[in-house]
Amino acid sequence: MAAMAKIDHAIELLENSDDQASLAEARLLGPTGLLQSLYSIGFIGLHDQNLSSYTFCHDGRTPDKGFESADRILVHPCYWLGLNLSRNALAPDEAEEINDEYDIKVDSLNPKIRNTKIGQIVAQLDKIPLGREGERDFELWSLEALKVIFAAQLVGLQLHPNGAAVQRRDITGTNRGKSDFWSRVLLDYKSRNIVFDAKNFQELGPDEYRQLQSYLTGSYGKLGFIINRDESENLTSGKDLDWTREMHGSHQCLIVKLPAKFISRLLQKLRSPEKHDVVDRQMWKLLTTYETNYLGLKSTRARKKSASAKRP
């Protein structure tokens, strides 16, 4: 329906803003979840064909069913003046069809919906089989998760933007340089476009590192990520640590392993809307570990302390 399309368009427009919290919330809830939230606080009503009336709820409950293309919705008349809507939007007989359900205190359902959505994304990972059988589902899972954790920092995240080319990057997005971490990536590694290679297996070898290194040219700069199914983001001597050092020493490229389990932990930290910068802090810490511990570089940058970081 038109409302769903308009909300989709509004979410796209949010990508041009710096509001990380709002964009992450919108991507988590999606058009249907946003409509359910607006319904739960009485902003919009849903037309009930059985009762021939619009039902408005103010108690935090969701509709008994999901929104469909054939459903009719209505912004509650008490908001019309503030939204500069016409008083003639409803005929007198239609106005009589409004049915308000005032019975319990207003309680926003957004935290419940966002936590449910995060839980669904995290749980879906364990259902994806390793290897070629689950590689397509793993790519889609990675894309969905990245859109949430890097909501306002990376725009235009998409799968296989140039699928017919020899260099077939899995997931790419544009770095706006709007946070401490992504500004550091842009300034230090010249990475305006970010590439994520999704590998649906645990151990990474020379082929995976060489493939990603070959992508790191032009606007992709000198930093890329491999998303895999390893249990830990830490590097192991004799395996991925050696190839990380090889790529940096021979090609001045930094390839960061970003296991799906690590991404899941970042998602779970977003259950609290107040912790909208927690992902940036964790990514900053991970990059510093690569530079100072794995590559033996002396970091010249210190992350700015946010207001939330100063709290006891």
Query: Residue 28: how many CB atoms within 10 A of its CB?
Result: 24
| pLDDT score at 107 | 38
pLDDT band at 162 (very low <50, low <70, confident <90, very high): low
- Whether 63 has a pLDDT exceeding 60, the answer reads no
Average pLDDT over residues 115-127: 91
| pLDDT score at 242 | 94
| pLDDT score at 102 | 40
Q: Dihedral, CA atoms, 94, 96, 97, 102, nearest 10 degrees?
A: 140
Q: What confidence tens digit (pLDDT) does each residue in 266-284 have?
A: 999 888 766 668 999 999 9
- Whether 254 has a pLDDT exceeding 90, the answer reads yes
Higher pLDDT, residue 75 or 289? 289
- Whether 99 has a pLDDT exceeding 70, the answer reads no
Average pLDDT over residues 3-8: 72
**Domains of the chain, each with CATH number or no CATH:** 2-108 (no CATH), 112-299 (3.40.91)
| Out of 159-163, 190-194, 222-226, 308-312, least confident range | 308-312
Most confident of 104-108, 160-164, 214-218: 214-218
pTM (predicted TM-score): 0.68
pLDDT band at 260 (very low <50, low <70, confident <90, very high): very high
d(CA 269, CA 277): 10
pLDDT band at 310 (very low <50, low <70, confident <90, very high): very low
CB 193 within 8 A of CB 220: yes
| pLDDT score at 10 | 77
